[in-house]
Structure 1
């Protein structure tokens, strides 16, 4: 059973290979963690799973060591082989900044040993979490590891998380000036906050929200009026949408939909 959400490409094909389950965080972590995600796979031949990433940092418990993934501003591709599993912690946008101790833009497109942020004890937690296949237990163990390691609350991180959530819920907001006006800040302030806390620019976040919407429409299997969708999402014309989608996904939207 899969629980594929926005950003996971070719979900129908993925469902035959990947089992994706999500779990909400406990009460003490809801301010910083969006959800846990557990991926198990079995494939007789190598398979590349592809994701249009969100503006979030992830802590991933995996072999051979747990890693922290910064915001991947390109297409995230991971090759799956044989059988395996990972458990991910998806942080709310902006909310990894207190753990990072530095601008989150410095983590963009990178993968880092989790011990850099959580200490050597994360290795033992990794072994314990991967020692079971029970999603609920894995999420519980991850929460028990994170809870005593929460930094002091950062009110700006919470504010930035709300900003990103408002923008990604409104893909028709497509210019940084519009976003700044909606959020009652200057464009320069918005850019500074996103570099410090999110790890991607406001322009990237807006563009990615539009691409998520376009891919979601394509995945439904219904005919898509691409010209109308381009106008709805604020593109100059259909050709602009096609170029943007092709650059991000690797093929035009009509072909992707097939």
Structure 2
């Protein structure tokens, strides 16, 4: 398995057994990776998992079915008990149009995906006595399903991928106008594209990626001041970063850093 990418994971020390399997290069326009957590907790033990999700949708296979989860507007919290697992694909914008679901229609929610064969095969893989090998096979099955589902991605969907890549990788992008300029289109076109293919306003997508990196740096670089993190990510000042943190995470950067240190 490859090294785990922990962007979006607010408290890594709370994670159950977990890895992310990258998408094959030929399918990178459809999904970023497949994530496979497993947990087996003692009776009465509870694990609170808090995630700042990517601004995207996830296709998830669990013991009780297959579900398409839409983009979220805040932190996702899940309480784990007993034993269980999940196999999920983080989808690119180009995937959603092929699945026939408008992401905005499931923003903050989910819809079932009826595919008994996919479910049966993933469940069988995850029941393999060799847990690591079973996880690999389950991930491969889900990747293949995404690759085979629907028609080829449209040119408009691929431009939406370009928009997402630009926002995700360029720290200088902090305004929608910058995205429009770099893509050679209008602000209104960017807004329509984000709504159609991601299901969130473009400014929300920008802020989500910046906040993910801010959280990662706050917990991974204790010697870096909050003001330095804000400046590195293009915020006008520390107060603007703190405002975004409070709005989305419900706490300040300083409180998040303290809470993370206490969770280790």
TM-score (norm 2): 0.86
Deviations along 1:8-65, one digit per CA (max 9) or x if unpaired, are 1011x22xx4121122334663331211111112333112211111122111110211
- Note closer, same or farther for the CA distance 1:3–1:102 as it changes in structure 2 (3 Å cut): closer
The 5 Å alignment of 1:42-191 reads 42-44=40-42, 45-99=45-99, 101-115=100-114, 119-132=115-128, 133=131, 134-191=134-191
Q: Aligned equivalents of 2:171 and 2:25: distance in 1? A: 29
In the alignment, the residues of structure 1 paired with residue 122 and residue 9 of structure 2 have an alpha-carbon distance, to the nearest angstrom, of 25
The superposition leaves residues 43-102 of structure 1 with CA deviations (integer Å, 9 ceiling, x where unpaired) of 331122111111221111102111111111211111111222111111123422221x24
- Contact 2:5-2:20 within 8 A present in 1 as well: no
Question: What is residue 3 of structure 1 aligned with on the other side?
Answer: 4
Q: Is the 8 A contact 2:191 2:201 kept in 1?
A: yes
Secondary structure in 2 matching 1:96: helix
Partner of 1:39: 37
Contact 1:47/1:79 (CA < 8 Å) preserved in 2? yes
- Structure 1 stretch 61-70 or stretch 27-36: which is displaced more? 27-36
Q: C-alpha distance in 2, partners of 1:197/1:97?
A: 7
1:20 is paired with a residue of what secondary structure?
strand
Distance 1:178 1:150 in 2: 33
Corresponding position: 1:20 with 2:21:
no
| Alpha-carbon distance between aligned partners in 2 of 1:104 and 1:147, rounded to the nearest angstrom | 18
Q: Could you tell me the TM-score, scaled by structure 1's length?
A: 0.88
How many positions carry a matched residue from both structures?
Answer: 251
Helix, strand or coil: the match of 1:256? helix
Partners in 1 of 2:98 and 2:179 — Cα distance? 25
Offset at residue 108 of structure 1 (A)? 1.1
Q: Note if contact 1:94-1:157 (Cα within 8 Å) is conserved in structure 2.
A: yes
- Which blocks of at least 5 consecutive residues in structure 1 are unaligned? none
SS in 2 for 1:251: coil
Change (3 A) 1:29 1:221: closer
Alpha-carbon shift at residue 123 of structure 1 (Å): 3.6
CA distance 1:98–1:149, shift in 2 (3 Å): closer
Cα distance in structure 2, aligned partners of 1:98 and 1:145: 12
Structure 1 residue 120: deviation in Å? Answer: 4.5
SS at match of 2:193: helix
Does structure 2 conserve the Cα–Cα contact (< 8 Å) formed by 1:125 and 1:145? no
Counterpart secondary structure, 2:93: coil
